[in-house]
Amino acid sequence: MISMKDIDGVEDWLIGQALGSPDMAAMFAEMCERLRQCHVPIDRALLGWSTLHPLIEAETVCWENGADVQHEQIGHFQEESEDWLTSPIRSILMSGEPVMRRRLANSNAPFDFPLLASLSERGYSDYMVMVTAFELPTIREEVSTSGIVVTWATREENGFTDEALAAITYIQKRLALAARATLQSQISRTIAETYLGKIAGGKVLAGQIRHGDGETIDAVIFYSDMRNSTAIAEHLGPDAYLSWLNTYFQATAGAILDNGGEVLDFIGDAVLGVFPIGEQSLETAVEQAIAAADTTRKRLKSVNAEPASAQPLKAGIALSVGTVMFGNIGVPHRMTFSVIGQTVHAAARIESLTKTVGVDVLMTADVARRTGARARPVGDFALSGFAAPQPLFALE
């Protein structure tokens, strides 16, 4: 017999989860275990939700009694599988109905979805799909509604009783509240990290949101700018140039991220990246920046080797190291989180000198002395903020 007092205990636990930052998969799995302890005869359950993420369209968590929890992420533009096209979840989402139920134990039961026949063969007797809609930021062209969808299945001989259905219906609304709070928190972090970067986004979410909030840090600056961008833009036109620009960013900004750095800004067709010094040493930050420059070179070479390459894709890269101000700049109602200071200005000036010197990577002496035999001196140059000409080095 199911006690609603016990179900209220699961509800209280879900409220506690909603007030924290739980992992969705772990929360759903524990909820299912708690329901079984309350004598709700669930043997399999699947939770699905859409989200707002640059790479992920939706996620699912499948719990089955006695088995490992399965967590799946579905990417944007991922090819729709046959399982999805013939699934009861897709059918109910397309129809707009809130509930679908299928009895599986009856020998004459119509298995209108392949999954149902599979579940019946595995001993399941009853299957239900329930949709709980709520407002959540999503890509509307991909999903018509936001919220959660949950499937419930049992192996009980006579399927779900009215008592069990009442408990499931009651708890799903509470699950939806916990899921909504958790997903909104995840989406806020995703947006902050996508548009500001992981380090800057974390600082903003931690409370550094006021005008002028920031700190002084030591860092290696990576500054890259595309060559001949004006001529290429005129030749390609707006749409093709945007695609080409993103190819360039994948080669440069992608290289920064892949080697442990942070992309702070896209300035037209320039990329401003940073490798902070603090938790890691200066030597490590330099190694990461050099690795990012090497990765950029390889990626640009690969793009230019493709037969369909519209234009030669070239870039200048500057590496400098020093103390910078890392924080909010702008006006109180419209700010960005970036780095400012002499080191940043020097990097922009050094990048412009790559064309004068005829190399693709230039670096300051502080970077070069940690690069070994790969550093080749190219001369002394006047840099803004420095009283005397500064020696620069090419990266062989």
Token pair 């920046």 in the structure block, residue:
289
**Residue 333's pLDDT is what?**
78
CA–CA distance, 118 with 116 (Å, rounded to integer): 5
DSSP-derived 3-state class of residue 20? coil
Residue 14 has pLDDT above 70, yes or no: yes
Residue 193 has pLDDT above 80, yes or no: no
Residue 233 has pLDDT above 80, yes or no: no
Residue 313 pLDDT grade (very low, low, confident, very high; cuts 50, 70, 90): confident
Q: Is the pTM of this model over 0.95?
A: no
Residue of 366, 207, 224 whose CA lies nearest to 282: 366
Mean pLDDT of 150-159: 95
CA–CA distance, 333 with 335 (Å, rounded to integer): 7
User: Could you read off the pLDDT of 109-146 as tens digits, one per residue?
Assistant: 678 899 999 999 999 999 999 999 888 776 655 556 68
Beta-carbon contacts of residue 18 (< 8 Å; ≥ 6 apart): 177, 178, 180, 181, 182
38: amino acid identity, one letter = C
The two structure tokens encoding residue 105: 């134990």
CA–CA distance, 395 with 161 (Å, rounded to integer): 73
